[in-house]
Amino acid sequence: MEIANRLKSIPPYIFAEIGKKAQAAQARGVDIINLGIGDPDQPTPKHILDAMHTALDNPVNHHYPPFGGTKEYKEAAAAWCQARFGFKMDPDTEITSLIGSKEGIHNIIQAYTDSSDVVLVPDPAYPVYRTSTILAGGTPYFMPLLSEHDFLPDLSAIPEAVATKAKIMFLNYPNNPTAAVANLEFYGKAVDFAKRHDILLCHDLAYSEMTFDGYKAPSIFEIDGAKDIAIELHSLSKTFNMTGWRIGYAIGNVKAIKALAQLKSNIDTDVFRAIQIAAIAAFQGPRDHIGYCNKLYEERRDLAVAALEKLGWHIKPNKATFYMWLPVPKGMTSMEFSNMMLDKLGIVVPPGTAYGPAGEGFFRMSLCTDKSRLQTAFDRMAQQSVTFEQAAKTKV
């Protein structure tokens, strides 16, 4: 039996492959330190768990939920956005529920992309932007994110012929994998660009609350007129330590929300109602854990910056996300460095090329492990630093 060509057109999901290799090493007795996964290591707050337990005991919640999310869930999401960002969203027409933002990314591409269409994809970026475009039959056009441009795409460099064929432009700030941030001036330029070329601007705001040093991440909808062309994907995964719960929501342009909801109604049966009730508790309950978790990530970031400085990496502390985007040692490719870290040191870090061609020469490090394990990882790197030097000297 032959699989579909569309599946042959995309590579295996790199993080699944890395996970298999790490599991194999672990089975051999290697003490693996996983600095690759972007999954909060702190538990979901208790008031959310309590709401879930109560909801589970109510048989009403065991049935199919309404398509697009319950009225109460969408109203709670709208209230959160108004309190956090200062704008209003109509729960009936400008919000739809998601089974996590990854699903929303895939389905908004399916809703808008035909075989002759282009999707503007940051490079490097979350791989789903690219692979879901290919699965839809579209063509990803890479917008390079370069350090000299603060990892923001140069919109003026996009050829007019490409912009004319583009249906969607993806942005993601705070950014995975680079940890870069964007300001309202940039968003204003992005909204203007999308309007000029009749492009749906899709902003992935999964890391909105994971910020440090007094920085607060803005929403695209803080720009006047953004609702004309934009949709924004929000997730409870990182904000509320709910990655495994699979719940989020999309907000914005009425037509885009309707199209996304229409597609989803033909594919899934929405989020389990009890999880939506727990999410309402997340929106409406105490938010102490956000500051607590950000303090932990900030401390880990500072430890990493100091340790990496001793190892020869000179980097600026990131203002958001629990990622660090770092250059590999001279003379090594991203994949060679990733393999060496796992094979010789028992440390998992994804190669930059997992996020796109422009990721060559970089690797991503996650701060989702406690400081003692982080320190152990850096100690191993310090003991093996001669390996980096030898690689640089012997590479042809």
Confidence class for position 396, pLDDT limits 50, 70, 90: very low
CA distance 12 to 31: 25
Question: 324 and 365 in contact (C-beta within 8 Å)?
Answer: yes
Q: Are residues 383 and 273 located together in one domain of the fold?
A: no
Q: Classify strands 323-327 and 362-366 as parallel, antiparallel or unpaired.
A: antiparallel
Q: What is the CATH number of the domain that holds 331?
A: 3.90.1150.10
pLDDT band at 18 (very low <50, low <70, confident <90, very high): confident
Domain end (from 284, 315, 345)? 284
Check whether residue 19 and residue 62 sit in a common domain: no
296 and 212 within one domain:
no
The whole-number pLDDT of residue 12 equals 77
The Cα–Cα gap between 141 and 54 comes to 47
Indicate whether 82 and 113 sit together in one domain: yes
**55 in the same domain as 32:** no
Same-domain pairing of 21 and 158: no
Query: CA torsion 298→302→308→314, rounded to 10°?
Result: 100
- Mean pLDDT, rounded, for 252-277: 98
Mean pLDDT of the chain: 95
- Phi and psi based region of residue 312 (left: phi greater than 0; alpha: psi -120 to 50; beta: remaining): left
> Domain boundary at 241, 261, 284, which?
284
Residues 162 and 138 grouped into a single domain:
yes
b/e string for 139-149 if b means 16 or more Cβ within 10 A? bbbbbebeeee
Ramachandran bin of 136, using left for φ above 0, alpha for ψ from -120 to 50, beta for the remaining angles: alpha
Read off the pLDDT of residues 144-203 as tens digits, 9 standing for 90 and up. 999 999 999 999 999 999 999 999 999 999 999 999 999 999 999 999 999 999 999 999
**Mean pLDDT for the stretch of residues 255-271:** 97
Domain of 386 in residue numbering reads as 5-43+288-394
pLDDT at 393 over 60: no
Q: State the CATH number of the domain containing residue 222.
A: 3.40.640.10
Residue 165 CA to residue 258 CA, distance in Å, equals 22
**Domain boundary pick from 265, 284, 303:** 284
Query: What percent of the chain has a predicted confidence (pLDDT) above 70?
Result: 97
Q: Is residue 116 within 8 Å of residue 278, measured between CB atoms? A: no
Give the tens place of pLDDT for each residue, 92-144: 999 999 999 999 999 999 999 999 899 999 999 999 999 999 999 999 999 99
Domain count, the chain: 2
Q: Are residues 22 and 59 in the same domain?
A: no
Question: Span 14-21, mean pLDDT?
Answer: 79
> Which tokens sit at 84?
């956090």
Q: Are 177 and 124 spatial neighbours (Cβ–Cβ below 8 Å)?
A: yes
Q: Domain check: are 337 and 376 in the same one? A: yes
224 and 239 in a single domain? The answer is: yes
Binned at pLDDT 50, 70 and 90, residue 388 comes out as low
CA angle 13, 18, 22 (to 5 degrees): 150
pTM across the whole model? 0.94
Question: What separation in angstroms does the CA of 151 have from each of 147, 148, 188, 216?
Answer: 5, 7, 17, 18
Quick: pLDDT tens for 57-80: 999 999 999 999 999 999 999 999
Q: Alpha helices of 245-312 — where are they, by DSSP H?
A: 254-265, 273-284, 288-311
Which residue from 390, 322, 395 is spatially nearest to 42, judged by alpha carbons? 322
Q: Are residues 25 and 118 in the same domain?
A: no
For residue 389, is pLDDT > 60? no
- On whether both 53 and 133 belong to a single domain, the answer is yes
